[in-house]
Structure 1
């Protein structure tokens, strides 16, 4: 588990470092996840150890929201005056996420249908 956790954290550190050095407009952890994904592709899949470690982290995922909640309570006076903007951003972000998810799902279904037709057509030849 220690090796897998080290790999995950090193990927995040690498992502943060690349963003810091290059000024990319992408959060470091997102780039770190992409680096981890690339590493897993190169390795040919997820090892059992990385899978177990990821499952353990995901099982305790809710704990990661505690610091954010404490921060909201700590800065409540500042946030209180900004609630219309925050509510609008949350609503708009949710709607955009739903739309992008629906479009991605529709595109994936069309792609899978096309691939299925091609395979059936190739099998009939």
Structure 2
């Protein structure tokens, strides 16, 4: 299981480094996740240790959202000034992102079926 943690930490650190070096507009953790997905596609899947660690992290992921949820209560002045971007992000960008992701997944599945 230790090797699974090391793999996740390695991709996180590499993503952070790439994001900082190239001054990317995406967080380093996201860059690391993209690199991890590419690596898993090349490798052909996750090892058993990586699967166990990933399931463990997913199981406790809700705990990580508690501090952010509590912080919202202390940002009422900022929220009142930035209500339009928040509403647009919630009701426009989120559904649009879901639709685009769904279409992309269908495209990938069709492509995979053609290759088989």
Q: TM-score, normalised by structure 2?
A: 0.78
- SS of the aligned residue for 1:45 comes to coil
Residues 70-123 of structure 1 deviation map (CA, whole Å, 9 limit, x = unaligned): 4445xx2xx22222344433321122120232244356557867998xx6xxxx
Distance 1:108 1:37 in 2: 14
Highest RCO, 1 vs 2 (Cα 8 Å, sep ≥ 6)? 2
Distance 1:16 1:8 in 2: 12
1:62 and 2:62 aligned: yes
Residue equivalent to 2:97: 100
Shift of residue 9 of structure 1?
Answer: 1.0
- Which one has the largest radius of gyration? 1
Distance 2:21 2:95 in 1: 33
- SS of the aligned residue for 1:10 comes to helix
Q: TM-score, normalised by structure 1?
A: 0.73
Distance 1:115 1:42 in 2: 14
Displaced runs of 4 or more, over 6 A: 110-116
Structure 1 range deviating more: 79-88 or 32-41: 79-88
Q: Which runs of 5+ in 2 are unaligned?
A: none
